[in-house]
Structure 1
Amino acid sequence: MASSVPRMVGRRLLAALPSIVAVVVVTFLLTRALPGDPAAFFAGPAATPEAVEAIRHSLGLDRPLPVQFASYVAGLARGDFGTSLTTGQPVGAEILQRLPASVELTLAGLVLALLIAVPLGVAAATRPGSWIDHGARVVSTAGVSLPVFFTGLLATYVFYYLLGWAPAPMGRLDLFATAPPTVTGFYLIDSLLARDLEAFRSAFAQLVLPALTLGLFAVAPIARMTRASMLGVLSSDFIRTARASGLSSGKVLFAYALRNALLPVVTTMGMVFSFLLGANVLVEKVFAWPGIGSYAIESLIASDYAPVQGFILTMAILYVLLNLLIDVLYGLIDPRVRIDA
């Protein structure tokens, strides 16, 4: 059974290769089809056509598209994502530097959503038609209806500007805090490892509002799926048998019903996590969060191809790894999945 896990991982990786190749091709073509000329942008409005053409030649943009694509793929094979024209730094290094900020924010939003959505879905399923059930529907509808950027701006206006409870939305730390030594790249964990409580408090305070913004966006699908899955399990024969056997309501609910209802919830959680990675692009701009989302937007405005291509490819790889993690979680929740594998 243990040997089936590496085989499953290998099959999933092989199945994902065509998708990764398609992402590379489509991303390359789309970035070249975007309006704007990087050479003209960096030459400036006062540049002569000869100067713009010289910059275009130095960047290799005057070469045929197949030649540019072959050069790009050759760089990817060496682990080279290219060089950012706006910063002059390797794209791979900048993505690795910014990725922990985005992942920390996304994980915080997902954990917050799970802490709210799963108990809310379970409570709504055990009391259908009650005020809790109706309240869960209202929360779910609001979470789906409100765009993340609007929620972020509203949260900033209320909790920072009006009430003064939250710090200024100026990144991962306030101006007077020092970043902890990098171990994981997650400021909450690194500050605890360094026993720097001041940095931990600052990082936690800065993380609350953006995580709340992402979490509210994720509450709706997880709560709805938890409620629907729990309703299906609670009406099954084995739950009625467990109750007739005299087991306590808590054991029936959590040991039997919730565990069997978790598989569709885990699937939804994986999809929501990938959505949150995309929603990060807007949330990072609202809260000046130095992640890969804001990096991609700034590069897109400047018609800087390499960072945009690196961002999309990184998101595709994260999505593949996320699906692998979901498959492993399936095996931990339901042993039948391990047997089938």
Structure 2
Amino acid sequence: MSGSSGGGRLASYVAMRVVLAIPMVMVLLTLVFLLMRVAPGDPIQAALGGHLTPEQLAERQAAAGYDRSLMEQYFIYFGEVFSGNLGTSVTDGRTVGQILAENGLPTLVLTLASLIVALVIGLPLGILSGRFQSSGLDTGVRIFGIVTYAAPVFFIGLLAQLFFGVYLGWLPTSGQASPLVQALVEPITNVVLFDAIAAGDWDSIKDALIHLVLPSVTLGLLVSGVLIRLLRVNMIQTLKSDYIEAATARGISGPRIVIAHGFRNAMVPVITVMGLQVAMLLGGAVLTEQTFNWPGIGSVLVQYLNNRDYAAVQGIITVFALVVVAISVLIDVITGLIDPRVRFD
């Protein structure tokens, strides 16, 4: 009976989180719409104003709906978003769907690799810092966490390129792979690593993995600082709990207490915050891709911004906003599965 009740509460909790996400999406889409309208003129005029006659310009503005009132454009924008039409680039004529298909996967690979780096660095350092509070190790880890959190990602990227690429010559500093590998591997997914795996070319796979090291570590360090600081605080609070003292009194070993009891309970709020860090990873990917010449959404977004192609920029940012909301809902659901205390009664 209790299991059925628990399942019902979880279902109600998930449904409530999905319902609450709807106004969040509406607010984000409204902000995107308004921010794109702050700039003077419209995308047609900004991108092609100097290349068209006034008659051609007016014709294209009318076809795109930019001659209508702001309120009419607002409802048209929402209608297009909910119908799956996120806009078309004025610069190259690609739809946002095509842009995502061609450039989205490289950004996803970089983001996931960076998240893995953040977890590999942040989890053990956060646990050790919380376990050995006020020690020399704790001080060093805290300083490392502050520096990685505060340092601009492009600055870390430039230093990494200079030190590991130029001075030591250990790692490549740009691109998904060397020019020869990119020329030999047949492009299927626009990710050289995946294309090399599909071809079974181990030398190309190794080359692509080496090229992924610097950008993923650079971006991963950005998030690891947040993870270290948050996990440390929660580990300290958890290790001072009554049930930890009871486990110690029963003779349970220190490492087992730290991992099985302290770490598990300390991770609940960390999981919540880590979901929000995906937004930071997406934002950091823009600068990281520019720094390392990585052909993802971030690089394309900068190009469209430089070309003042607001139609494409609006569509890409809309996708970013929807991804952040979706991840936020997913993290709430995962948290509800891990810790029943957060569910609504």
The answer to whether TM tops 0.5 is: yes
Change (3 A) 1:64 1:322: same
Change (3 A) 1:264 1:276: same
Q: What aligned pairs does 1:214-229 form with structure 2 within 5 A after superposition?
A: 214-229=219-234
User: Once the two structures are superposed, what CA deviation does each residue of 1:96-132 show, in whole Å capped at 9, x if it has no partner?
Assistant: 3322221221121121111111111111122122221
User: How far 1:245 moved relative to its partner?
Assistant: 0.9
> Counterparts of 2:171 and 2:224 in 1: how far apart (Å)?
22
Question: What is the match of residue 174 of structure 1?
Answer: 178
User: How far 1:201 moved relative to its partner?
Assistant: 1.5
> Counterparts of 1:6 and 1:203 in 2: how far apart (Å)?
43
Q: Which has the higher contact order (CA 8 A, sep 6+)?
A: 2
User: How far 1:244 moved relative to its partner?
Assistant: 1.4
Question: What is the match of residue 117 of structure 1?
Answer: 122
User: How far 1:71 moved relative to its partner?
Assistant: 3.2
User: How far 1:255 moved relative to its partner?
Assistant: 0.8
Does structure 1 residue 314 correspond to structure 2 residue 329? Answer: no
User: Once the two structures are superposed, what CA deviation does each residue of 1:227-249 show, in whole Å capped at 9, x if it has no partner?
Assistant: 11111111111111111111122
Q: What aligned pairs does 1:1-341 form with structure 2 within 5 A after superposition?
A: 1-2=6-7, 5-35=10-40, 38-43=43-48, 45=50, 49=54, 52-53=57-58, 55-57=60-62, 59-170=64-175, 172-177=176-181, 178=185, 181-182=188-189, 188=193, 191-192=196-197, 194-337=199-342, 340=344
User: How far 1:45 moved relative to its partner?
Assistant: 4.6
Change (3 A) 1:203 1:38: same
Change (3 A) 1:334 1:186: farther
Change (3 A) 1:322 1:77: closer
CA contact (8 A) 2:238 2:265 kept: yes
Structure 1 residue ranges without an equivalent (≥5): none
* Number of corresponding residues: 337
- RMSD of Structure 2 on Structure 1 (CA): 2.5
SS of equivalent residue, structure 2 residue 179: coil
User: How far 1:179 moved relative to its partner?
Assistant: 5.3
Identity fraction in percent: 38
Structure 2 residue ranges without an equivalent (≥5): 1-5
> Counterparts of 1:5 and 1:310 in 2: how far apart (Å)?
34
Change (3 A) 1:132 1:229: same
SS of equivalent residue, structure 1 residue 330: helix
> Counterparts of 1:279 and 1:73 in 2: how far apart (Å)?
27
CA contact (8 A) 2:43 2:311 kept: no
CA contact (8 A) 2:24 2:325 kept: no
SS of equivalent residue, structure 1 residue 176: helix
User: Once the two structures are superposed, what CA deviation does each residue of 1:79-101 show, in whole Å capped at 9, x if it has no partner?
Assistant: 11121111111112212332222
Give the letter for the 2:105 counterpart: P
> Counterparts of 1:4 and 1:196 in 2: how far apart (Å)?
50
CA contact (8 A) 2:36 2:314 kept: yes
TM-score where L is the length of structure 1: 0.89
> Counterparts of 2:28 and 2:253 in 1: how far apart (Å)?
51
Give the letter for the 2:16 counterpart: R
> Counterparts of 1:186 and 1:39 in 2: how far apart (Å)?
32
SS of equivalent residue, structure 1 residue 247: coil
User: Once the two structures are superposed, what CA deviation does each residue of 1:54-89 show, in whole Å capped at 9, x if it has no partner?
Assistant: 554454433333333333333223211121111111
CA contact (8 A) 1:39 1:52 kept: yes
